[in-house]
A and B are shown apart, each in its own frame.
Chain A
Amino acid sequence: MNDYDMMVDAYKEAGGEDVFAESDVAHLVLERDKVLGAHKVEGLEVDAKKIAEDTVKVKVTIKEGYQIENTVHMCFGVLPKEGRQKIDMEVEVQKDAHVEVKADCVFPNAVKVQHIMDAVINVEQGGSYIYKEHHFHGENGGVEVIAKSEIYVKSHGSLVTKFDLLKGRAGKMDFDYEAHLDEHAKVDMLARISAQDDDVIKIRESAHLNGQYSRGVLDSKIALKDKAEAEIYNELTADAPGAMGHVDCTEIIKDNAVARAIPIVDVRHPEAKVTHEAAIGSVDSTQLQTLMARGLDEEEAAEVIIQGLLND
């Protein structure tokens, strides 16, 4: 079996759809610094090339006015037990263009793997970009993910990011997303992560509502057990009239896990409004006992509650 087939198999095992043979679905498959597959559709350009050892530069452009009908599929990963993958990603969603991207990052055999993503995302006026990233890191906890995104959303543009890692080990994750919004622009950043053993999660999400009537939501839901640790730093600043935002962080902890939530709300205009909620605690006892009264044991009941929270 060649690398491409192995990557696609790992992708499917992680829940990815079998779309790589479809001519009307754009895709990109990268294993470490190898471009194993790339397919474009009208209105969408994908340019990927190796620029250094373990490093690939990817440029995605959605041309002005194009609404890409089918979700673009990206599959990134490292197949061996050890390895490094660095992706320098540049995304340009031109004026009034729309695209939805589903990226699956798979490291099924990882013992000592590093995945670094450096992204710059520009959503031009009236453009719309939905980016759903799903990770599967295997059962060894040997993955380190360092993801940094610099995001600019111009007037009336919108960006949605949804990150999830719901099965297996998380390893070490260090996210740093920062978004700058012009007038009437919108951003939603959602993260759903389950961590266990000695996994360490660090998320810094920041959105600056600079334009009037801009909107921002930062929503993190994290479930931790064993000795896992998480620190979630959500920052929302608003300094224009009509700017509105909400920060929501929920963390469920079990065993000896440690969770910290640091919401920063910075409002500098009397007509702007930002709210925040943060809740850290164990599984709710009434929820747990209700499910146990239906015959589930404590572990099963806790899992239903945690998976529900993460699926919300």
Chain B
Amino acid sequence: MSKLLEVKDLNLKIEDTEILKGIDFSLEKGEVFALIGPNGCGKSTLAYTLMGINNYYPDKGELLFKGEKINDLKINERAKKGITLAWQEPARYQGVTVREFLSLGLKSKGEEVTEGKLANALNKVAIRPAQYMDRFVDKSLSGGERKRIELAALILMHPELIILDEPDSGVDVVALNNIADMINYFKDSGSGILLITHSEEMLNYADKAALICDGEIIRQGDTSSISDYFKSYCGPCAKSEECETEVAS
């Protein structure tokens, strides 16, 4: 049986600069795979390439979703197949209510929109429907509220693969706990999750992990070994001989 996501020898150049180099990893259904690395190492670029954002299409290598090559598909075509991405900094929309925003994912799948479905999704992310349903998804909402509403939208969309780009960035403790609960919820629902992070605490929510540095995956394995290595050599980045020895090994 094919894996949910397979990334094989993925390379991406932007304006002649190699940003992603020979990326290889795979992800199963119901699995949380964490990709950790310091700022600027290519994590978000990888997330965008998997989703097709900014017209990032691989120069070399393969992106396989349930065995099907998706290299050339547009963002919405990948979304219709069951892949989505939650941005580090969720977009804000003037004049679009929470109700309208949440309805979009259901409508695009041809599913009926009911008040009950929307309210249920908001309740799951600890947002009170009565207080938020008619509010605009704009700058009047805090970053944490926006992230939770984004997660509610994902609940309604129930994608098979969710790419969470720095879900812990810029949120308070309440929102962070909620995000952790949601990772478990999606996992239990059978979705695969690619968790992009630069924080080793987030590895606690993953089943396995990889360390990305300068556009290359330099290690992958169980979360504790990746966490130990990240703490030892990446925070701050030493570019030390020991690190290079480890890379070489």
Contact = CB atoms under 8 A, between A and B. Distances in A.
Q: Tell me if chain B binds chain A.
A: yes
B171 interface: no
Contacts of B34: none
A274 interface: no
Contacts of B80: 295
A293 B90 contact: no
Given A284-B91, A305-B93, A309-B95, A296 B76 contact: yes
B25 interface: no
Contact of A289 (B75, B100, B109): B75
A5 interface: no
A308 B95 contact: yes
B136 interface: yes
Contacts of A286: 87, 89, 91
A296 B108 contact: yes
Given A285-B54, A286-B87, A312-B136, A292 B74 contact: yes
Classify chain B's interface size: 20 to 34
B96 interface: yes
Given A293-B75, A294-B104, A287 B91 contact: yes
B94 A294 contact: no
A295 B85 contact: no
A298 B108 CA distance: 12
A295 B157 contact: yes
Interface residues of A, number: 24
**B89, B94, B109, B136: most-surrounded residue (chain A CB, <10 A):** B94
**B80, B108, B157: most-surrounded residue (chain A CB, <10 A):** B108
**A285, A296, A310: most-surrounded residue (chain B CB, <10 A):** A296
Interface in B47-99: 51, 53-54, 74-76, 78-80, 84-85, 87, 89-96
Given A298-B76, A312-B136, A293 B95 contact: no
21 contacts: A286-B87, A286-B89, A287-B91, A289-B75, A290-B87, A290-B90, A290-B91, A292-B75, A292-B76, A293-B79, A294-B79, A294-B84, A295-B105, A295-B108, A295-B109, A300-B108, A304-B93, A304-B96, A308-B136, A312-B94, A312-B138
